[in-house]
Structure 1
Amino acid sequence: MTIRLALLVALILSIAPIVPSIAADNRADRFALVIGNAKYPDAESPLKEPINDARDVADELKRDGFNVEVGENLTGDAMRRAFDRLYGRIKPGSVVLVFFSGFGVQSSRQSYMIPVDAQIWTEPDVRRDGFSLETVLGEINARGAGVKIALIDASRRNPFERRFRSFSAGLAPVIAPNGTLVMYSAALSSVISDNGGDHSLFVQELLKEIRVPDLMAEETLNRTRVGVTRASRSEQVPWISSSLAEDFSFIPGSGARPPSAPPGPMATLPQPAPNPLPPPPRNDPLPPKIEILPPVDKPVEKSEGTQAVALADDPTIKSLTAKLADNPDDQSALYRRGQVYASKGAYNLAIKDFDDSIRLNPKDVEALNNRCWARTVIGDLQAALKDCNEALRLRPNFVDALDSRGLVNLKSGQAKNAVADFDAALRINPRLTSSLYGRGLAKQRSGSISEGDLDISNAKAMDPNIVKEFAGYGVR
């Protein structure tokens, strides 16, 4: 009897070391919400990757012990209900993961996940219809989750950001609670295009690394980052932020750790710093009298060469310039650098980049519209009108180009034509503040003072900064 008791004690002591790891790997307390949004009415065609990616990620997480809910092409109400269900399942110490693939937009230094029915024309619309990643992580943390993971594949060039006068491409850095691991599929404030396949490069590499047993989550994502960067030849560099306070592995194994990813490339990968860019320079509020500044050959700015040197060290411009040094015909990089230059007030530099972008793709209506707007600001009104007309020929009723052409006509003194363009834009989007304010100015100039005053008053109520914005375009 004594011998048997001794053997039993020895057996218990021999297995005791594995008990803590079993408790730490309580898979009943792993919860995931996986969303793939592909069918956005504002996009020219559905995205190819998000649905397949969401399904594959969900299947892998289920195999890893997560209780997974999958949502496809979710509206705002459906996304809200899905997040509420996730919040309701969380227990103290739970592992909670959110995966989102679709369109994302940054606004006020936060990143927003966009539902398929979002009506976004201005930055306030982003905050109204989108779902702030910081808010979601805060809600998860408030319910006691121990490990919080967000995997966001939303750094796509989207139809929303180009409606804003200020620069807003890509995603913003996240300020997350302790115990959080966040990964974006691309660097901060950068955008990528769907690769044309059924799955994104980011998800392909992510799933490859998640399936490695006994790999800590931080290392899983670091290896994913290396894999994406290598496969894309540094065209796509995912961004990671971690404040994990405890170890977590998607697939706990035998304790034998696989070799770490070679550290060399990790140390040299480019990580653009966050670079919220200001709108064009703004002057003091407009006086009641309306004045259109005469056209000028150049805006009031430093010479192009001096300004190019001054902006060369801007992290985003520097990264894009490096890309263009490797491939001068990178149309996406040209278009985006043009956006950055325009938002910095370097309009002539922006126009040069839009020139090259349009040379590579003469049917890029977004680049045509942006060049129209930049040319309008500097007073090159005939060329601007030609650009807007071409954009509208390629895409009739393109609301952004109608708004831009309205500004061209307003600055040209063609008040009736301006009213017609702004009217057309407002029929498509009655909340387009720039068109409402521009129509008010045009009506005043054409003699309809009271109607113009009403438009201006309504526009200022919707956006108190609209007066300063137009002053930055040279309209007084």
Structure 2
Amino acid sequence: MKIRFLLLLPLMLSVIPTAPSVAAGDRFALVIGNAKYPDADTPLKEPLNDARDVADELKRDGFTVDIGENLTGDGMRRAFDKLYGKVKPGSVALVFFSGFGIQSARQSYMIPVDAQIWTESDVRRDGFSLETVLGEINTRGAGVKIALIDASRRNPFERRFRSYSAGLAPVIAPNGTLVMYSAALASVISDTGGDHSLFVQELLKEIRVPDLMAEETLNRTKMGVTRASRNEQVPWLSSSLAEDFSFIPGAHTSRPTATNVTPPATTPAPAPQPPAPPAVVANNPPPAPPPAPPAPPPLPKPPEVSVAPSPAPAPAPAPSPTPRPQIEAALPPPPPPVKPADTGTSPSAPVDTAALADDPTIKSLTAKIASNPDDVNALYRRGQVYASKGAYNLAIKDFDDTLRINPKDVEALNNRCWTRTVIGDLQGALKDCNEALRLRPNFVDALDSRGLVNLKSGAVKNAIADFDAALKINPRLTSSLYGRGIAKQRNGSASEGALDIANAKAMDPNIVQEFASYGVR
């Protein structure tokens, strides 16, 4: 079933502008660290520390810096508009973003903390396209445009799409642009849970080296990350700079120090030191490590489905751990095996192994797994790709290996539950969904998936209970709305079921075809 995230908490906006330094000239930077996503299991630890260190360093390098932490969509829009307003012909404009990023329609999007992303079209509605940002800076006349994007983390959003998409996409940027991602294209890395990301550690180390042009600085950063990660993380770099630019202006041995930097700038230290937290605008408490958000999100289910534009998002109500009678019950005696003709997806149909072998994403992931059989991210991602291409048995094997390494990976459990449901292994699917919900109560995606398991098994009351629980968390969860409608009709409530089905079809006209592919009509 479609993977959804939980509620959206009111999140704090803190954009902390700093006055231009004495030697700032025409160097402008916007630094964003987004860590408190309600859909993640816990707040990310790295983005805020990284953003503060990068902002502090850029100030010492003569940039006028605005820093934003845990920015909502409105906050990011205001921050970008402010940057656009500062840019002058011939100036330098730099954007640093640390948080979650997604590629959609071959563009990379930076995601605000309050994004309501359930379908791929929501990415384009709520996210901020890096190409659009660079294009706008270019139209303002910036001579040098730099984007440093640390957003290749495994995240709860893109795993919700049937159409597989992971990591970031290449950027078609205007001339005079330098773009660097913290990891390779279409690649994701796990957040280490440490205080700083490897990418930013290496970046700050190289920025402090005198006599380097920006391209060389970033190339050295790339080599440092690759070496330190033993080739597991290889940053991506693209340059179309038409003029020389160095992060360190002027003298080789010293840099202009901003008069307003807190704490006061001193001789550059050999290793990055976390600056004091910046002052926060009124009504926005400092971004201390936030409390863990409510039970969160995850994953996509594979088969590719084109999604109709979603209606305007309504604030999702806070999930209350309401009791779910029946839904923990075991399945009734299993029905006769599902015939391939009834599945819609023909899970028993032969898979084009040659086409799979030639798929560039599968090739890349397979090479990673060959060099490290316990690369849990590569195994998980390859399982998603296989499932999206109908290679369900191969997908299940990769999810098996993912769970062998980490038995508590609730997203892998949910994906395996869904894939097993598609091929008719309903007992195995139920076991996976129950375990995912034991580990993460109110996991909306697993509730949605288990609703499908119960629906296909004929346990319609259990299905209704699961879909009800999922819809309490996300009333816009079309798959649960449609599934509940089918279950209600089968339970004798024809008019109520028809209303759910009509509402679901109005939200997503493809939902009927999607359920038919699961063998549910």
Task: Report if the CA contact (8 A) 1:187-1:237 is conserved.
Answer: yes
Once the 2 structures are TM-superposed, how far is the Cα of residue 62 of structure 1 from its aligned partner? 0.9
From 216, 219, 234, the counterpart of 2:216: 219
In the alignment, the residues of structure 2 paired with residue 421 and residue 331 of structure 1 have an alpha-carbon distance, to the nearest angstrom, of: 29
Matching of residue 299 in structure 1 with residue 347 in structure 2: yes
Partner residue in 2 for 1:245: 242
**Alpha carbons of 1:316 and 1:420: their partners in 2 closer, same or farther (altered >3 Å)?**
same
In the alignment, the residues of structure 2 paired with residue 293 and residue 124 of structure 1 have an alpha-carbon distance, to the nearest angstrom, of: 38
Structure 1 window deviating more from structure 2 (293-302 vs 79-88): it is 293-302
Larger Rg: 1
Task: Report if the CA contact (8 A) 1:214-1:253 is conserved.
Answer: no
SS of equivalent residue, structure 1 residue 166: coil
In the alignment, the residues of structure 1 paired with residue 458 and residue 24 of structure 2 have an alpha-carbon distance, to the nearest angstrom, of: 69
- In the TM superposition, what are the counterparts of 1:315-330 in structure 2 within 5 Å? 315-330=360-375
From 118, 121, 126, the counterpart of 2:118: 121
Matching of residue 339 in structure 1 with residue 384 in structure 2: yes
Once the 2 structures are TM-superposed, how far is the Cα of residue 281 of structure 1 from its aligned partner? 6.2
In the alignment, the residues of structure 2 paired with residue 349 and residue 366 of structure 1 have an alpha-carbon distance, to the nearest angstrom, of: 17
In the alignment, the residues of structure 2 paired with residue 108 and residue 450 of structure 1 have an alpha-carbon distance, to the nearest angstrom, of: 39
Q: Structure 2: which 5+ runs fail to align?
A: 1-22, 254-299, 307-334, 341-345
Matching of residue 430 in structure 1 with residue 430 in structure 2: no
| CA deviation profile, 1:6-25 (whole Å, cap 9, x unmatched) | xxxxxxxxxxxxxxxxxxxx
Once the 2 structures are TM-superposed, how far is the Cα of residue 96 of structure 1 from its aligned partner? 0.4
In the alignment, the residues of structure 2 paired with residue 300 and residue 109 of structure 1 have an alpha-carbon distance, to the nearest angstrom, of: 32
Partner residue in 2 for 1:16: none
Task: Report if the CA contact (8 A) 1:37-1:116 is conserved.
Answer: yes
Once the 2 structures are TM-superposed, how far is the Cα of residue 205 of structure 1 from its aligned partner? 1.2
Once the 2 structures are TM-superposed, how far is the Cα of residue 157 of structure 1 from its aligned partner? 0.8
Structure 1: 4+ residue segments shifted above 3 A: 252-256
In the alignment, the residues of structure 2 paired with residue 171 and residue 101 of structure 1 have an alpha-carbon distance, to the nearest angstrom, of: 13
SS of equivalent residue, structure 2 residue 25: helix
Partner residue in 1 for 2:407: 362
Partner residue in 1 for 2:168: 171
In the alignment, the residues of structure 1 paired with residue 485 and residue 71 of structure 2 have an alpha-carbon distance, to the nearest angstrom, of: 38
| CA deviation profile, 1:97-147 (whole Å, cap 9, x unmatched) | 000001112222222111222222222332222222122112212222121
In the alignment, the residues of structure 2 paired with residue 85 and residue 282 of structure 1 have an alpha-carbon distance, to the nearest angstrom, of: 38
From 331, 338, 353, the counterpart of 2:398: 353
Coordinate RMSD, CA, aligned: 2.4
Task: Report if the CA contact (8 A) 1:416-1:442 is conserved.
Answer: yes
Partner residue in 2 for 1:404: 449
SS of equivalent residue, structure 2 residue 485: helix
Letter in 2 for 1:366: E
**Alpha carbons of 1:463 and 1:454: their partners in 2 closer, same or farther (altered >3 Å)?**
same
In the alignment, the residues of structure 2 paired with residue 325 and residue 167 of structure 1 have an alpha-carbon distance, to the nearest angstrom, of: 22
Partner residue in 1 for 2:127: 130
Structure 1 window deviating more from structure 2 (348-357 vs 446-455): it is 446-455
Q: Structure 1: which 5+ runs fail to align?
A: 1-25, 257-276, 284-291
Task: Report if the CA contact (8 A) 2:93-2:142 is conserved.
Answer: yes
In the alignment, the residues of structure 2 paired with residue 108 and residue 441 of structure 1 have an alpha-carbon distance, to the nearest angstrom, of: 33
**Alpha carbons of 1:282 and 1:183: their partners in 2 closer, same or farther (altered >3 Å)?**
closer
Q: How many residues were matched structurally?
A: 420
TM-score normalised according to structure 1 size:
0.83
In the alignment, the residues of structure 2 paired with residue 279 and residue 358 of structure 1 have an alpha-carbon distance, to the nearest angstrom, of: 18
In the alignment, the residues of structure 1 paired with residue 376 and residue 163 of structure 2 have an alpha-carbon distance, to the nearest angstrom, of: 21
**Alpha carbons of 1:147 and 1:77: their partners in 2 closer, same or farther (altered >3 Å)?**
same
SS of equivalent residue, structure 1 residue 70: strand
In the alignment, the residues of structure 1 paired with residue 248 and residue 401 of structure 2 have an alpha-carbon distance, to the nearest angstrom, of: 48
SS of equivalent residue, structure 1 residue 165: coil
In the alignment, the residues of structure 2 paired with residue 76 and residue 391 of structure 1 have an alpha-carbon distance, to the nearest angstrom, of: 31
* Identity between Structure 1 and Structure 2 (%): 84
Task: Report if the CA contact (8 A) 2:95-2:148 is conserved.
Answer: yes
| CA deviation profile, 1:243-294 (whole Å, cap 9, x unmatched) | 22222221245799xxxxxxxxxxxxxxxxxxxx9952679xxxxxxxx996
Task: Report if the CA contact (8 A) 2:35-2:47 is conserved.
Answer: yes
Once the 2 structures are TM-superposed, how far is the Cα of residue 27 of structure 1 from its aligned partner? 4.5
| CA deviation profile, 1:148-198 (whole Å, cap 9, x unmatched) | 111100100112222333322211222222222111101111111122321
Once the 2 structures are TM-superposed, how far is the Cα of residue 469 of structure 1 from its aligned partner? 2.2
Matching of residue 94 in structure 1 with residue 139 in structure 2: no
Letter in 2 for 1:295: V
In the alignment, the residues of structure 2 paired with residue 91 and residue 350 of structure 1 have an alpha-carbon distance, to the nearest angstrom, of: 51
From 67, 70, 88, the counterpart of 1:70: 67
Larger helix proportion, structure 1 or 2? Answer: 1
Once the 2 structures are TM-superposed, how far is the Cα of residue 458 of structure 1 from its aligned partner? 1.9
Partner residue in 2 for 1:270: none
Partner residue in 2 for 1:196: 193
Letter in 2 for 1:430: P
In the alignment, the residues of structure 2 paired with residue 337 and residue 94 of structure 1 have an alpha-carbon distance, to the nearest angstrom, of: 43
In the alignment, the residues of structure 1 paired with residue 164 and residue 459 of structure 2 have an alpha-carbon distance, to the nearest angstrom, of: 29
In the alignment, the residues of structure 2 paired with residue 216 and residue 31 of structure 1 have an alpha-carbon distance, to the nearest angstrom, of: 18
In the alignment, the residues of structure 2 paired with residue 278 and residue 247 of structure 1 have an alpha-carbon distance, to the nearest angstrom, of: 46
- In the TM superposition, what are the counterparts of 1:411-426 in structure 2 within 5 Å? 411-426=456-471
From 413, 422, 436, the counterpart of 1:391: 436
In the alignment, the residues of structure 2 paired with residue 226 and residue 101 of structure 1 have an alpha-carbon distance, to the nearest angstrom, of: 20
Letter in 2 for 1:339: Q
Once the 2 structures are TM-superposed, how far is the Cα of residue 70 of structure 1 from its aligned partner? 0.8
| CA deviation profile, 1:27-77 (whole Å, cap 9, x unmatched) | 411100001111222211111111111111111111111110111111222
Partner residue in 2 for 1:266: none
Structure 1 window deviating more from structure 2 (381-390 vs 121-130): it is 121-130
| CA deviation profile, 1:315-334 (whole Å, cap 9, x unmatched) | 22222222222222222221
In the alignment, the residues of structure 2 paired with residue 143 and residue 149 of structure 1 have an alpha-carbon distance, to the nearest angstrom, of: 14
Greater RCO, CA 8 A, separation 6+: 2
Letter in 2 for 1:312: A
Structure 1 window deviating more from structure 2 (348-357 vs 165-174): it is 165-174
SS of equivalent residue, structure 1 residue 241: strand
